[in-house]
Amino acid sequence: MKFVLDAEQRLFGETLNKLLAGAGTAGAVRARAAGDPEPGRALWRSLAGAGVFALAVPEAAGGAGPLPVELVTAFHELGRHAVPGPLAETVAAAGLLARLDAGTGRGSGRGDDAGGLAAAWLPRIAEGTAVVSLALPPAVPYALDADTADLVLVVDGDELRTAAPGAALTSLDPARRLFPVAAGAAEAGTALACGPAVRAAAAAAFDLGALACAAQLTGVGRRLLEVTVEYAMTRRQFGRPIGSFQAVKHRLADVLVALEHTRPLVHGAALAYGSPDFPRDVSAAKAAASDAAHAAAGSALQVHGAIGYTDEYDLSLWIRKARALRSAWGSPAAHRSRVLSCLTGG
Amino acid sequence: MKFVLDAEQRLFGETLNKLLAGAGTAGAVRARAAGDPEPGRALWRSLAGAGVFALAVPEAAGGAGPLPVELVTAFHELGRHAVPGPLAETVAAAGLLARLDAGTGRGSGRGDDAGGLAAAWLPRIAEGTAVVSLALPPAVPYALDADTADLVLVVDGDELRTAAPGAALTSLDPARRLFPVAAGAAEAGTALACGPAVRAAAAAAFDLGALACAAQLTGVGRRLLEVTVEYAMTRRQFGRPIGSFQAVKHRLADVLVALEHTRPLVHGAALAYGSPDFPRDVSAAKAAASDAAHAAAGSALQVHGAIGYTDEYDLSLWIRKARALRSAWGSPAAHRSRVLSCLTGG
Amino acid sequence: MDLDLSPVEPFRAEVRDWLRAHVPAAPLPSLETGEGFAAHRAWERELASARLSVVSWPERYGGRDATPLEWLVFEEEYYAAGAPGRVSQNGINLLAPTLFRYGTPEQLDRVLPPMASGEVIWAQAWSEPGAGSDLAALRSTATRVGGGWLLNGQKTWSSRAAFADRGFGPFRSDPEAGRHRGLIYLMFPLEAEGLTRRPIGRLDGKPAFAELFFDDVFVPDADVIGEPGEGWQVAMGTTGSERGLTLRSPGRFTAAADRLVGLWRERADPADTALRDRVADAWIRARAYRLKGFETISRAEDAGAESSVNKVFWSELDVALHETALDLLGPDGELDGDWLEGYVFSLAGPIYAGTNEIQRNVIAERVLGLPREAKA
Amino acid sequence: MDLDLSPVEPFRAEVRDWLRAHVPAAPLPSLETGEGFAAHRAWERELASARLSVVSWPERYGGRDATPLEWLVFEEEYYAAGAPGRVSQNGINLLAPTLFRYGTPEQLDRVLPPMASGEVIWAQAWSEPGAGSDLAALRSTATRVGGGWLLNGQKTWSSRAAFADRGFGPFRSDPEAGRHRGLIYLMFPLEAEGLTRRPIGRLDGKPAFAELFFDDVFVPDADVIGEPGEGWQVAMGTTGSERGLTLRSPGRFTAAADRLVGLWRERADPADTALRDRVADAWIRARAYRLKGFETISRAEDAGAESSVNKVFWSELDVALHETALDLLGPDGELDGDWLEGYVFSLAGPIYAGTNEIQRNVIAERVLGLPREAKA
């Protein structure tokens, strides 16, 4: 039993951190919001180069995965740097395709079947040349960034199909554009697979997406805390650094306490991948991560005051992302319900 | 519209406050816990002398009521001084008997009917010679202090009957002994009245009891705040009064904010007496008062530290009462549910 | 003690009927856009034409001499009707009370009527980059010149200033004096020579604020409020009303709570009522704040530091209420719309007009009498 | 990174089987009574006979040299089995770690085996009426005499001291030295001449504490722990373990959370699940604390100030968990019973071993690096 990242895993996280620290992620978000997806796409490519997306793709399909611990390590850094794009969605889609592939017999070679779909897309996901969006109504009713994705999937009941993006909805998070993929809007879509295997694969994909999102939220929370601590040490009001006020200290201490007790839940859920406890543990992690990031955002805003409330300060990107990811991939209430259902078998 | 106590009402509260401040209420609680009900009984008589119980008894039955605003004013002081006894229960019983009386035709003179019951007991309640306990299962399943009460009533469905106390249950609040009056334990009881009028009267009695309990909780909370503020000004740790620490200040400020916004709910509910909004407004008041007193108790304990955790310091009587009254006369969750049911008609 | 509102029911009915007939069926465009700002200004004019823009003011300035109770009732009806946001809010709620207390008759006559009619929209200009909650730290200056003052420096997070006509706020008239001394309170045109404004976006990107850069902006003596050097007292008079009952009227919250209950009924899976407690709690708190308002106006004496009690309460209620709504909306919680807009707006509550940390200090020290904090 | 517990499963099975065979079917009488204390002492002896009373200690003192993971597993099984409270807790969790760090071989040999067997039960004697959280303010004295020290003064809120055999704690050996200096850490018999103990009740009236009055109580040099004058360092070594993993093992909370889920299933009206969020949250937090424990023991380095992070978390979890249970119990929430007893016990958590306010200061200053507070 060694429940901490090993040296290689830590190094992987640190490498991503360094890569992203110099990559102008906030600028990529603002470019995306202004209509230019290219900086985000460039980021995506360097993340793929660092091996991020291969973590979700089985080795047989050109990936290095599934490696859930490495995946949450990466997603923590993606959240910490507010990387834009359908990140959890692409990972979840990889999980879905891999699962369908395994379910239908790998490499059966039929062009319109799940195996062919997996063969066509999984290697591209791994190498970063395919950005995939995915909707899993009702919990994930919108396809994130469907306008710039290379493939947009939706699972409707036990049918998997492609979807054409409708009109975008505006999120509080400028990095996110959400596209309805309601049944009615699906004329343009193509049916890809059908049956109970689709339903099972969608359930597995949901868990993987929620886990990635939880890890992303811990990174968002961590960054908010880091930036706020730094600000509290330099900003002076009433003749002293505001970080010397007990109200500020205690609030930030509480954020740290929450984050420190969220990380083990995320790691624990990653290790439960493939076990019957995975859904329960993912839900525990997502609920806790949503609340911890929410608390971090609230404290960041309150400690920064009006500066934190100002669009042009990059801090606002993380504050907004904490709110958006809270309800993405299942709300805290929904995940808590699921934990209790798993525990009571009800 | 004048939504503050008038001069006479204020004077009434202040008079009770003075009366109780010199009456050794904490000693009466400890005597009661040690098996001696007499000091509590003496308190009861002086409260009756001040007119407290007459407030719940109609004028026609020898009382001065119903006067709900005066009643909550009194119960605030009763809570503030931790007066022991089945206070809300007696008031609720008075409401129940008066309502049954009105429902069945006052003064019909039948010894075993509701009118006779009211005629027999209401004047004694008003003058303080009858201490009445009352159980209204399921929300109020136990009869408080049934061992020392002169009359113990229980409403079971649409039947009102007397109940004989079984074995006492121990409450966290040493002022309270609770007696089960479950259907099975009722052999010794006598049926007094039956029918839909009983059910309606019991519902009205519940609202009155819950309102009295809410007012009592505001008094409990107020006292906890007063004592804690005083302590925070004198207790020194780390070379300064602990009340100069921001963590202590902000916590106590939050208690004041909660209490200041609970009083209007209690007053508002009292003014709604007799209107269709009464149940809704009582529930709003009881839920808020339970939470405000709970917050006051938590802060009192935390600011006092181990001293507040010590039985022999009188502070503990109020801390314990805040917890006991929180679940008495309907839990906060139950009252919140009722508010929402009233609002949505569901 | 009573809660008898029947004497004001005729007034309530008049307001309700007028609003029912006049509130635009479709929401106006966001008042943080040029188009929306103009639409909201037109709405102010419409309100004023019915003498409903400033009901509590004296008649001579465009009001009705409404009692505080009538004002509360007006606000309840206004928000219940879903009427447009008040683009004149900074003027009506912050500048007007200051003028009533410190202004000259000439200033009242000159400033108030066009404020009431929406002809002149005011922006507040208090905060500076280095002086947010700590107002005494402000550094923008007013220098004495013949017949007036020259303003220099920078203000920021100036609400409404992107599109408003005029601004008001404190400047430092005597750099030698102590932190709370040597301030002057001034009104100035936003189109003045030497004044540059740069819109800045709030949390959701909408340009609700502006930065103002002053480069020898001339203000005549007639636009000084109170005595030069006493700007601190004048400003504090304004914060009193900003923190108190006037800025956030109970009607806002009771209307929002009613809408939340409606959302709950519409959205909540009856088998999945985890949020019920929070919905009920928001409604109860809104009711508490409403009744607290009635209590406040029933008291003879001024609330004083108790306005801090109100400010902490309504600002936290507002956040909790909107957070509950967003959580109820589930995956739609991040989407642009009324609830999200209300949420973003609510987030400013615990920050502005004195952060809630400062309010809690005020409550602890001035209401509860706890000792002041150790000094740095 | 892994969570592979299979290597400790045999040990877990042994503990589980033994507990299943030995945990009394009916709860022992409360350990805050003479009768209950004796029963709990007998239970300690029974545990010791299976070498299960101090599994993590070296074998020579009665332990099994268990790894930290084995200890965690032991605790999980212990609390899951509903086994009796540990009357030896103060000795095992507070005194023993101090002795392992500062004690002499002679002290270890003399003190530990009877502690492990329940023959000697220890009470901690730290707090004084004027020195609760501010340990440096303590005033009880130890005066040098031939061959030892004379204790004078008063201790209070001494856990277990009503019935225990011996006590330990810091005294002031040099009244001239500064607040953190001139302390001495001593062990003493509670039956000593000159020592008077007076039981005091905790919040629910049960005599969980005692006051101790010292009047020339003699303590031989052999019972001084560490160097005279270095009592502060010795005490801080103990608070480190008091705040950290050892005192409140995750197994307590996971077992309590499982029971809470059971209570919810049994009590909750399915149509009225307002408390569901809180039940689920308690379970999630207990799981988080358990996993955090695995993380802590997986790290090479010492947790240091991070033990404050744990203390804030478990103490607040414990209160929330028990409050949720009482709220679920509705009108039964005020009644004496396991849940109420656990609630009362939990309320001490945020207070003792350094209040949570102090812990938050420690976290802010030593973990986050925020500046120290202004001094009075």
* CA distance, residue B137 to nearest chain C CA (Å): 23
Name the token pair of C334.
């991040």
Put simply, whether A332 touches C (Cβ < 8 Å) is: yes
| D374 is a domain residue | no
Is C376 part of a structural domain of the chain? no
φ/ψ of residue C202, rounded to 5:
-85, -165
Q: What is the pLDDT of residues D10-55, one digit of tens each?
A: 999 999 999 999 999 999 998 888 899 999 999 999 999 999 999 9
Residues of chain A neighbouring C335 (CB-CB closer than 8 A): 169-172, 178
Return the structure tokens found at B168: 């006492």
Q: Give the contacts of A267 (CB within 8 A, at least 6 positions apart).
A: A3, A5, A69, A72, D1, D291, D295
Question: What is the DSSP code (8-state) at residue D92?
Answer: I
Provide the residue-wise pLDDT of chain C in tens; the chain has 376 residues: 999 999 999 999 999 999 999 999 999 998 888 899 999 999 999 999 999 999 999 999 999 999 999 999 999 999 999 999 999 999 998 899 999 999 999 999 999 999 999 999 999 999 898 877 777 788 999 999 999 999 999 999 998 899 999 999 999 998 888 777 899 999 999 999 999 999 999 999 888 889 999 999 999 999 999 999 999 889 887 665 544 445 578 999 999 999 999 999 888 765 566 788 899 999 999 999 999 999 988 986 666 677 899 999 999 999 999 999 999 999 999 999 999 999 999 999 999 888 999 999 999 999 999 998 766 4
Domain assignment present for residue C112? The answer is no
Task: Inform me whether the pLDDT recorded for D145 exceeds 80.
Answer: yes
Is pLDDT at D275 greater than 90 in this prediction? no
Q: How do residues A193-216 score in pLDDT, each as one tens digit?
A: 889 999 999 999 999 999 999 999
Residues 6+ apart with CB under 8 A from D4: A1
Of D33, D60, D87, the last residue of a domain is D87
D93 falls within a domain = no
- Collapsing DSSP states into helix, strand and coil, what is residue D275? coil
**What pLDDT is recorded for position D11?**
98
CATH architecture of B206-344: Up-down Bundle (1.20)
* Shortest distance, CA A322 to any CA of chain C (angstroms): 10
The first and second tokens of residue C56, run together, are 């509590």
Is residue D236 very low, low, confident or very high in pLDDT (cuts 50, 70, 90)?
Answer: confident
Closest CA to C192 of C208, C228, C172, C216: C216
Distance CA D331, CA D266 (A): 15
Sign of CA dihedral A73, A75, A76, A80: positive
Give contacts of D 123-152 with A, CB under 8 A.
Answer: none
> Is the CB of B232 inside 8 Å of chain C's CB atoms?
yes
The shortest CB-CB distance from D276 to any of A240, A246, A340 is to: A340
Q: Which chains touch A (3 or more CB pairs under 8 A)?
A: B, C, D
Give the pLDDT score at A345. 83
The arithmetic mean of pLDDT across residues D222-244, rounded, is 80
- Location of structure tokens 């119960």: B75
Task: Decide if D98 is inside a domain.
Answer: no
Chain A positions in Cβ-Cβ contact with residue D360 (cut-off 8 Å): 249-250, 253-254
Band the pLDDT of B23: cuts 50, 70, 90: very high
Taking the Cβ of residue D341 and every Cβ of chain A, the question of whether any pair is shorter than 8 Å is answered with: no
- Partner A contacted by D263 (CB < 8 A): no
CA distance D329 to D324: 9
Give partners of B (≥3 CB pairs < 8 A).
Answer: A, C, D
Q: What is the pLDDT of residue C271?
A: 54
Give residue C136's pLDDT.
Answer: 79
D356 and D250 in one domain? Answer: yes
Region for C15 from its dihedrals, namely left if φ exceeds 0, alpha if ψ lies in -120 to 50, beta otherwise: alpha
Q: Work out the minimum CA distance from D374 to partner chain C, whole angstroms.
A: 5
Q: Does C252 lie in the same domain as C178?
A: no
**Hey, is the C-beta of D313 within 8 angstroms of any chain A C-beta?**
yes
A334 touches D at CB < 8 Å = no
Q: Does C331 touch chain A (CB under 8 A)?
A: yes
pLDDT in tens, A241-270: 999 999 999 999 999 999 999 999 999 999
Distance from CA of B9 to the nearest CA of C (A): 8
Q: Is the pLDDT of residue B341 over 50?
A: yes
Q: What is the pLDDT of residue C243?
A: 45
d(CA C188, CA B123): 72
Tell me the residues of chain A between 297 and 326 that have a Cβ less than 8 Å away from chain C: 301-302, 305-312, 316, 319-320, 323-324, 326
Are C137 and C76 contained in the same domain? no
Confidence at residue A112, expressed as pLDDT on a 0 to 100 scale? 47
CATH topology for A208-344 is Butyryl-CoA Dehydrogenase, subunit A; domain 3 (1.20.140)
The model's pLDDT over A118-171, given as tens digits with 9 standing for 90+, comes to 999 999 999 999 999 999 999 999 999 999 999 999 998 899 999 888 899 999
Tally of domains within chain C = 3
Question: Looking at the predicted structure, is the pLDDT value of residue A26 above 90?
Answer: yes
What burial letters (b/e) apply to A325-341, b meaning 16+ CB within 10 Å?
A: bbbbbbbbbbbbbbbbe
Supply the DSSP symbol for A306.
Answer: G
- Check residue B306 and give its pLDDT: 87
Buried b (16+ CB within 10 A) or exposed e, B239-252: eebbbbbbbbbbbb
Residue owning tokens 């959400």: A178
Last residue of a domain, one of C194, C229, C264: C229
- Distance in angstroms (rounded) separating the CA atoms of residues B306 and D197: 18
- Domain residue spans in chain A? 7-198, 208-344
Q: CB count, 10 Å around CB of A21?
A: 12
Q: Is residue B180 less than 8 Å (CB to CB) from chain D?
A: no
Q: Are residues D225 and D255 in the same domain?
A: no
Catalytic option among D242, D341, D357, D365: D242
Query: pLDDT band for position A117 (50/70/90)?
Result: confident
CATH topology of domain A7-198: Butyryl-Coa Dehydrogenase, subunit A; domain 1 (1.10.540)
CA distance D218 to chain A (A): 43
Residue B102 scores a pLDDT above 90? no
Q: Residue C219: what pLDDT?
A: 97
Average confidence (pLDDT) over B121-140: 96
CA D92 to chain centre: 8
CB contact under 8 A, B4 and C298: yes
Residue A5: strand, helix, or coil:
coil
Could A247 and B246 be called an inter-chain contact, meaning their C-beta atoms sit closer than 8 Å? yes
B195-234: pLDDT as tens digits = 999 999 999 999 999 999 999 999 999 999 999 999 999 9
Q: Which of C264, C272, C273 is the mutation pick for testing D, counting most D CBs within 10 A? A: C273
- Residue D239 domain-assigned? no
In a domain, C239, yes or no: no
A111: pLDDT strictly greater than 50: no
C273 and C225, same domain (yes or no): no
What integer pLDDT is reported at residue B25 of this predicted model? 96
Q: How high is the pLDDT of residue C37?
A: 94
Residue A174, classified by CB atoms within 10 Å of its CB into exposed (0-12), middle (13-18) or buried (19+), is: buried
Average pLDDT over residues A53-74: 95
Last residue of a domain, one of C87, C106, C131: C87
* B 16-55 residues inside an 8 A Cβ radius of D: 33
Active site residue D357: no
Determine the Cα–Cα distance for residues B283 and D329; give it in Å rounded to an integer: 19
Per-residue pLDDT, averaged over D106-128, amounts to 96
Q: Is C268 on the interface with A (CB under 8 A)?
A: no
Nearest CA in chain A to B244: A246
Domain membership of residue C60 (yes or no) is yes
Residue D157 in contact with partner chain B when CB distance is under 8 A: yes
Residues on chain C bordering chain D, Cβ-to-Cβ distance under 8 angstroms: 273-274, 276-277, 373-376
Q: Decide if A245 and B246 are in contact by the 8 Å CB cutoff.
A: yes
pLDDT band of residue A105 (cuts 50, 70, 90) is: very low
- Chain A residues within 8 A of B250 when measuring between CB atoms: 247
Contact list, B245 vs chain A (CB under 8 Å): 246
Chains in contact with D, where contact means 3 or more Cβ–Cβ distances below 8 Å, are: A, B, C
Chain D's closest residue to C276, CA to CA, is D274
Which pLDDT value is given to residue B169? Answer: 95
Optimal mutation site among A257, A267, A278, A338, interface D, most CBs of chain D within 10 A? A257
Same domain, D143 and D77: no
Sorted by sequence, the CB contacts under 8 Å of residue A168 that are 6+ apart come out as A147, A177, A178, A179
**In what helix (H) or strand (E) does residue D228 lie, and over which residues does it extend?**
strand D224-229
Size of interface B-C (CB pairs under 8 A): 145
- For position C178, what pLDDT does the model report? 74
D12 touching B (Cβ < 8 Å): no
For the residues B299-310, what does the mean pLDDT come to?
A: 92
Q: Which stretches of chain A are DSSP H helices?
A: 7-21, 25-33, 38-49, 68-80, 87-104, 114-127, 196-234, 246-260, 263-271, 278-304, 315-327, 332-344
Q: Chain D: give the shortest CA distance to residue A283, in Å.
A: 9
pLDDT digits (tens, 9 = 90+) for D195-218: 999 999 999 988 888 999 999 999
Residue A326 CA to residue A333 CA, distance in Å, equals 10
Give me the sign of the Cα torsion angle D49, D52, D53, D57.
positive
- Structure-token pair, residue B262: 């609970």
Say yes or no: D298 and D360 in one domain.
Answer: yes
Q: Are D219 and D303 contained in the same domain? A: no
Range of the domain at D25: 6-87
Counted across chains A and B, CB pairs separated by less than 8 A come out at 8
